[in-house]
């Protein structure tokens, strides 16, 4: 198979490239914008047949100049939820995706693309139907707008089209994301720099550190996407999370205890971590009041109905593996 991965130097894209190589795929074409040259590190060790800048790829693929492509795994997007430039966001996340969809349908190329749980925004129900879609920012709206286009195609797509609404992904190769990197990544950094992890205190009826998210380890996310790649008869829009909501306290405990295990130290309970000053709670910031989701949990009913039975790692399991990976990285 000839497979294109857009956003190939990003966190999810690069993990997909490496996973495809492990499955024996050698006809992998990477697409990205390497203006930030540091991202190249995520592709070191991968086997690629070609690389295209994103602007060149979208134009040439739409013209049919790249020959037969079996599938496009579309991860390229602006994922900064704090980006308020709507024109920029819609150009990057909607228009590029729409151009790509049209070309895939015209050429019979399968399209597996990244949507986002940000499409739900202010909703308390996370199910893939319009009544629960209430984006709180232009990022979430840009993703929803493309999902709506895909819905009009889905009854009878000419080739496979699958959208995945990612929840809180974490794992290797996200160091370039800066403030948008996962909580686990930032907790690891806080332990290295300050010897403790800081969490929000009480807010929204939740106790200190008890605000919860559906955290999905990137290896699990990749495994599900590759399962769909191996099942070309399936199309649709699906949530991609663990199906569990776990508190930020669990992430902090996971990071600290993984580091303690590596140092030959005994694991500690959350009260013990707090008592020893390894976990510290800070006042909830005024800037986030009314703009913060205290709970997310993917409804996996639609995903399970496809026959996908993948078992997702808990935070303790995934974070433990992630800390081992981070600890093994050479300083840059």
Spatial separation of the C-alpha atoms in residues 300 and 238, rounded to whole Å: 8
Give the phi and the psi of residue 32 in degrees, each rounded to 5: -170, 180
Determine whether 203 is an active site residue. Answer: no
User: Is residue 155 within a helix (H) or strand (E), and if so which, with residue range?
Assistant: none
- Reduce the DSSP state of residue 50 to 3 states and report it: strand
* Residue that the structure tokens 């693309």 belong to: 113
SS3 87: helix
Structure tokens at 294: 């205290």
Closest of 58, 75, 62, 70 to residue 17, by C-alpha: 75
Q: Tokens 């995945």 map to which residue?
A: 164
Assess contact for 153 and 174: CB atoms under 8 A: no
Determine contact, residues 57/69, Cβ cutoff 8 Å: no
Contact 117, 163 (CB under 8 A): no
The whole-angstrom separation of Cα 35 and Cα 29 is 18
In whole angstroms, give the CA distance from residue 330 to residue 221.
Answer: 25
Residue at token pair 């008592």: 275
List the catalytic residue out of 58, 94, 139, 170: 139
Answer yes or no: 196 catalytic. no
Cα–Cα separations (whole angstroms), residue 70 to 16, 55, 107? 16, 20, 9
* C-beta of residue 49 within 8 angstroms of C-beta of residue 28: yes
Question: Which listed residue (177, 203, 206, 281) is catalytic?
Answer: 177
Q: Where are the alpha helices (DSSP H) in the chain?
A: 11-22, 54-62, 86-90, 96-107, 138-153, 183-194, 218-229, 248-262, 270-275, 301-305, 315-328
Catalytic residues: 139, 177
């Amino acid at each position: 198979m000839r497979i294109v991965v857009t956003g190939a130097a990003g966190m999810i894209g690069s993990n997909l490239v490496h996973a495809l190589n492990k499955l024996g795929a050698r006809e992998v074409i990477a697409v990205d914008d390497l203006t930030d040259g540091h991202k190249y590190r995520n592709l070191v060790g991968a086997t690629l047949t070609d690389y295209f800048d994103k602007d060149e790829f979208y134009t040439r693929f739409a013209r049919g100049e790249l020959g037969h492509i079996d599938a496009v795994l579309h991860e390229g997007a602006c994922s900064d939820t704090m980006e308020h430039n709507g024109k920029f966001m819609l150009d990057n996340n909607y228009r590029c995706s729409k151009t790509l969809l049209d070309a895939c349908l015209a050429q019979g190329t399968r399209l597996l693309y990244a949507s986002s749980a940000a499409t739900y925004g202010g909703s308390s129900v996370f199910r893939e139907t319009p009544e629960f879609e209430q984006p709180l920012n232009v990022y979430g709206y840009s993703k929803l707008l493309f999902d709506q286009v895909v819905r009009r195609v889905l009854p009878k797509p000419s080739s496979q089209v699958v959208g995945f609404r990612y929840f809180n992904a974490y794992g290797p190769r996200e160091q370039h994301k800066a403030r948008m990197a996962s909580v686990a990544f930032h907790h690891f950094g806080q332990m290295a720099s300050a010897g403790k992890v800081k969490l929000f205190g009480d807010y929204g009826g939740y106790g200190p550190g008890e605000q919860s998210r559906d955290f999905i380890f990137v290896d699990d996310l990749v495994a599900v996407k590759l399962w769909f790649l191996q099942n070309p008869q399936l199309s649709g829009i699906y949530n991609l999370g663990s199906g569990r909501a776990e508190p930020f306290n669990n992430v902090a405990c996971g990071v600290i205890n993984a580091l303690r295990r590596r140092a030959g130290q005994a694991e500690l309970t959350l009260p013990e971590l707090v008592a020893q000053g390894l976990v510290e709670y800070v006042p909830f910031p005024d800037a986030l009041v009314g703009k913060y989701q205290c709970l997310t949990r993917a409804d996996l009913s639609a995903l399970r109905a496809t026959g996908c039975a993948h078992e997702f790692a808990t935070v303790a399991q995934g974070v433990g593996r992630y800390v081992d990976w981070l600890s093994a990285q050479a300083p840059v």
